[in-house]
Structure 1
Amino acid sequence: MTELYEVTIPASGSVENVVITVWLVAVGDTLEKGDLVAEISTEKVDTELVTERAGRVVALLVEEGDEVPVGTSVCLIAPVDAPDDAVTAAVAARQG
């Protein structure tokens, strides 16, 4: 099965929750390591979420405006060369 990389909300000081302000990617986009994925907001600061891996965006797991806890998976990325049927199966298995 294709291994998916989960983009998660990183821990930062005493922050417990963040809001996904704007998605900067869409399903199907190809990313390089370090690319911006979303703008996020906390009680104290607005910042950007980046990916630590290259690949193809295959699922956005939360909506713009959603408040989510630190550690939440918000986006799934598959290898660029992964077959579509394998990606579909992996996303379905991940989303349960």
Structure 2
Amino acid sequence: MRSTLKMPKVGDAVDEVVISEIQVQKGAAVSEGQTLFVVETDKTTVEVPAPFAGTVAEILIAAGDDVKTGAPTIVLEV
């Protein structure tokens, strides 16, 4: 089963972030809590973890992208 992960809300007043680093590759096995990618806001840097274990089926974002809260980011195969 595939599950599309969406950009979580990273702050009360933050609706858009910049992807600073992707830390996984397509086909990689990830564990729950493992950092998938890192985002930057005006004030901070936030690591976004995997909500569950799986295999990276697709990466829908790239470093430098502006991404809104709720936008699709990574597809995990469970």
Q: TM-score under structure 2 normalisation?
A: 0.92
Partner letter of residue 6 of structure 2? Answer: T
What residue ranges of structure 1 are gaps of 5+ in the alignment? 80-96
What residue ranges of structure 2 are gaps of 5+ in the alignment? none
**Identity fraction in percent:** 25
Q: TM-score under structure 1 normalisation?
A: 0.76
Q: Tell me how far 1:7 sits from its aligned partner.
A: 2.1
Larger radius of gyration: 1
Is the contact made by 1:56 and 1:77 (CA closer than 8 Å) also made in structure 2?
yes
Counterpart CA distance in 1 for 2:47 and 2:4 is 16
**Which protein, 1 or 2, shows the higher relative CO under an 8 Å CA cutoff with sep ≥ 6?**
2
Runs of 4+ more than 4 Å apart: none
Q: Would you tell me which structure has more helix in proportion to its own residues?
A: 1
Task: Tell me the alpha carbon deviations over residues 6-62 of structure 1, each in whole angstroms, 9 at most, x when there is no partner.
Answer: 222111211010111010000011011111000110111111011101100010001
Is the contact made by 1:5 and 1:53 (CA closer than 8 Å) also made in structure 2?
no
Task: Name the counterpart of 1:56.
Answer: 55
Partner letter of residue 61 of structure 2? Answer: V
Size of the alignment, in residue pairs? 77
Structure 1 residue 32 corresponds to structure 2 residue 20: no
Q: Tell me how far 1:4 sits from its aligned partner.
A: 1.3
Task: Name the counterpart of 1:41.
Answer: 40
Task: Name the counterpart of 1:14.
Answer: 13
